[in-house]
Amino acid sequence: MIPFNKPYLTGKETFYIEDAVKTGKISGNGKYTQLCQDFFEKKYGFKKALLTTSCTDALEMCAILANIKEGDEVIIPSFTFVSTAIAFVRQGAKIVFADSCESNPNMDVAKLEALITSKTRAIVPVHYAGVACDMDKIMALAEKYNLLVIEDAAQAIDNYFISKNGEKKALGSIGHLAAFSFHETKNIIAGEGGLLAINDERFIHRAEIIWEKGTNRAEFFRGEVNKYGWVDTGSSFLPSEIIAAFLWAQIENLDAIQQKRLNLWNTYYDQLVNWSKSKNIKLIEVEPFSCNNAHMFYVVCESLEQRTALIKHLNQEGVHAVFHYISLHSSPYYNEKHDGRELVNSDAFTNRLLRLPLFYELEVEKVIQEVLKF
């Protein structure tokens, strides 16, 4: 069986983990945490980067930093992982779901303004499959209505948005705050792990406090205060040095990993484009304002029945292909809280989108061979 995902190891992970253990400080915010954070700040231009134990934690930090309160409204796409919503639900927010574009699962920016009310506090674009949302338009709306933009860039590491003036901006560096994932299914991994990117300087000081359980411990370790104490809300958001050491081995090989994934992605696209047209199946689309980080390769089937048949065929031929999210507006937890709008594009992707295997060591030709038999 060809699995849907297989974590890629560079060979240095256990070496760096052993080195971290030998330093005598493995609880977090040590040597490897600093190496990783410095890398992300310098390469992608984040004003501050803080490693977290997961993308979910990074999103929860965003919700706290945004001062989301009971009754505030936050706009997110319905076609996303539950973490995007639950981080703000925990703060008491009402989630206002945005429909997807017809051509891809990202939120339909053309319909965003109609969702903004006097209670709206933030827009949370999700860069699905690493493909950029139209950040020029989202940021313009945020400025017009004095809203925060929090990028859910869980799948978008090392990808870029091309603005109207031609400037390339790293995803996660455009909104006020952003969250990334290093889960084992992502391009670079730490098993579990995440990153909070801060692009608005007013959030930096408080973010470090929230990150360290509501204490000014980070300032204490830098010698800026002679003792630390409880000064704000927060939680244990920072990961251990073990996770950071694992991630550092991945970061060192980022360019090679990205190039290999892009080669696999391009092979999929080139060899499936004619097949897809013959079956009335759509291939993943990369917007003209987005670069491609090859996080995912998906197809959009003509119907739920066709997708079910394709999954069955591939499983029988030893290929594990999987669908993805169920629209959050129809979830058992939140459907009664939803305002009743039909989100037809989100539901269409729920029923028709299928992800093909994509990982560093994938024998992509074997998968393509089985797909073409369908």
Domains of the chain: 13-252 (3.40.640.10), 254-372 (3.90.1150.10)
What's residue 218's pLDDT?
A: 81
Three-state secondary structure string covering the chain: CECCCCCCCCCCHHHHHHHHHHHCCCCCCCHHHHHHHHHHHHHHCCCEEEEECCHHHHHHHHHHHCCCCCCCEEEEECCCCHHHHHHHHCCCCEEEEECECCCCCCECHHHCHHHCCCCEEEECCECHHHCCCCHHHHHHHHHHHCCEEEEECCCCCCCEEECCCCCEEECCCCCCEEEEECCCCCCCCCCCCEEEEECCHHHHHHHHHHHECCECHHHHHCCCCCCCCECCCCCECCCCHHHHHHHHHHHHCHHHHHHHHHHHHHHHHHHHHHHHHHCCCEECCCCCCECCCCCCEEEECCCHHHHHHHHHHHHHCCECCECCCCCHHHCCCCCCCCCCCCCHHHHHHHHHEEEECCCCCCCHHHHHHHHHCC
Q: pLDDT per position in the chain (374 positions), as tens?
A: 999 999 999 999 999 999 999 999 899 899 999 999 999 999 999 999 999 999 999 999 999 999 999 999 999 999 999 999 999 999 999 999 999 999 999 999 999 999 999 999 999 999 999 999 999 999 999 999 999 999 999 999 999 999 999 999 999 999 999 999 999 999 999 999 999 999 999 999 999 999 999 998 888 878 888 888 999 999 999 999 999 999 999 999 999 999 999 999 999 999 999 999 999 999 999 999 999 999 999 999 999 999 999 999 999 999 999 999 999 999 999 999 999 999 999 999 999 999 999 999 999 999 999 999 99
Catalytic residue among 119, 168, 186, 227: 186
Pairing relationship of beta strands 148-152 and 168-170 according to DSSP bridges: unpaired
What's residue 227's pLDDT?
A: 81
What's residue 224's pLDDT?
A: 84
Short-list 255, 253, 280, 244, CA closest to 38:
244
CA–CA gap between residue 93 and residue 274 (Å, rounded): 46
Sign of dihedral through CA atoms 141, 142, 147, 150? positive
What's residue 217's pLDDT?
A: 84
What's residue 252's pLDDT?
A: 98
Q: Is 12 a catalytic residue?
A: no
What's residue 112's pLDDT?
A: 98
What's residue 223's pLDDT?
A: 81
